[in-house]
């Protein structure tokens, strides 16, 4: 099975999971079944359902799966993985609970610590971002749930990233729910460059997509994130000519570390 087949499988898994998520999201009587995880972050029934659906679909490939909502896998076992799927079934659970639409499904394929394929689906908007090293990065503005197109049809309806989006000065995108003093100080330092600065607040992995597509110039994140929060977006950014760096703005983030927390980073 070649990389194009894996990309198609990941797209179908993300879109199908998005449909499952929206079934709960659009139910006015749904209480979301909210629980608190050990790190005090919320977990809903939509997270669980999306995880189950995605892992079932990805299990048709030869690669192991590391999902935010899956079992904890010891590093001694993970360290042997050359290639694996890294999944966040519902990124932006807080945004899901707020019903603001800014939540995503994230699926990435990691090879030797590098995200080489990524899919991000935005169920509330039916927008799809996908990328691989071989094909480049793309965006589909409106995905049809009821039709299952081939990968060739999907590419034909997609816009290649980055798009030519004209804007003046510096456009910065930052977290809607996880601001920090360090992030605010960094944004203030950009203002001192003398260029007009526009700040966009957004949730989930959407922020990485905005940089990859050209709507924003930079995304500083000086607050905690996990590898599954960023891997799919990182793959899309790389294929679109951007990258996700440590604070030195030179060293790209890597994946499948013993500690799955990301360092602070900058996407540009």
Indicate if the alpha-carbon torsion angle 66, 63, 77, 253 is positive or negative.
negative
The structure tokens listed for 128 are 């799809």
Model confidence at 146: pLDDT above 70: no
The structure tokens listed for 198 are 């526009």
Asked: is 3-161 a CATH 3.30.540.10 domain? The reply is yes
Position 2 confidence tier, pLDDT thresholds 50, 70, 90: confident
pLDDT in tens, 209-225: 999 999 999 999 999 99
User: Is there a contact between 4 and 123 (Cβ–Cβ < 8 Å)?
Assistant: no
DSSP E strands in 29-91: the ranges are 35-36, 42-43, 65-67, 83-91
Give the residue among 18, 6, 255 at the shortest CA–CA distance from 126.
18
Predicted local confidence at residue 250, as pLDDT: 96
CB contact set of 153 (below 8 Å; sequence gap of 6+) = none
Q: Where are the domains of the chain?
A: 3-161, 170-267
What is the chain's mean pLDDT, rounded?
93
Average pLDDT rounded to a whole number, residues 96-117: 96
Can you give the pTM of this predicted structure? 0.95
| Helix 206-213 and helix 227-239, axial crossing angle in degrees, nearest 10 | 10
Position 145 confidence tier, pLDDT thresholds 50, 70, 90: low
The percentage of the chain sitting over the pLDDT mark of 90, rounded to a whole number, equals 78
Predicted local confidence at residue 30, as pLDDT: 81
pLDDT in tens, 8-42: 999 999 999 999 999 999 998 888 989 988 888 89
User: Is there a contact between 220 and 230 (Cβ–Cβ < 8 Å)?
Assistant: no
Position 1 confidence tier, pLDDT thresholds 50, 70, 90: low
Give the residue among 218, 231, 195 at the shortest CA–CA distance from 85.
231
User: Fold for domain 170-267?
Assistant: D-Maltodextrin-Binding Protein; domain 2 (3.40.190)
pLDDT in tens, 161-182: 999 888 889 999 998 767 788 9
């Amino acid at each position: 099975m070649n990389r194009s087949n894996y990309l198609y499988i990941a797209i179908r898994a993300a879109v199908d999971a998005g449909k499952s998520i929206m079934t709960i999201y659009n139910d006015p009587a749904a209480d979301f079944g909210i629980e608190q995880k050990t790190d005090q972050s919320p977990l809903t029934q939509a997270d669980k359902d999306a995880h189950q659906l995605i892992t079932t679909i990805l299990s048709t490939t030869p690669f192991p799966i590391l999902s935010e909502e899956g079992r904890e896998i010891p590093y001694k076992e993970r360290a042997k993985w050359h290639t694996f799927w890294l999944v966040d079934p519902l990124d932006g659970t807080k945004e899901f609970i707020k019903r603001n639409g800014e939540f995503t499904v994230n699926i990435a394929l990691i090879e030797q610590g590098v995200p080489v394929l990524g899919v991000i689906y935005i169920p509330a908007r039916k927008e799809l971002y996908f990328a691989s090293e071989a094909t480049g990065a793309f965006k589909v503005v409106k995905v049809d749930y009821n039709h299952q197109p081939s990968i060739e049809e999907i590419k034909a309806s997609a816009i290649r990233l980055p798009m030519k989006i004209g804007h003046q000065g510096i456009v910065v995108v930052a977290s809607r729910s996880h601001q920090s003093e360090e992030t605010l100080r960094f944004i203030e330092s950009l203002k001192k460059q003398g260029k007009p600065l526009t700040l966009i607040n957004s949730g989930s992995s959407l922020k990485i997509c905005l940089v990859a597509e050209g709507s924003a110039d930079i995304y500083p994140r000086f607050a905690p994130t996990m590898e599954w929060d960023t891997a799919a977006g990182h793959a899309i950014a790389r294929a679109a000519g951007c990258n996700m760096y440590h604070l030195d703005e030179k060293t790209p983030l890597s994946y499948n570390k013993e500690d799955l927390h990301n360092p602070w980073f900058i996407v540009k």
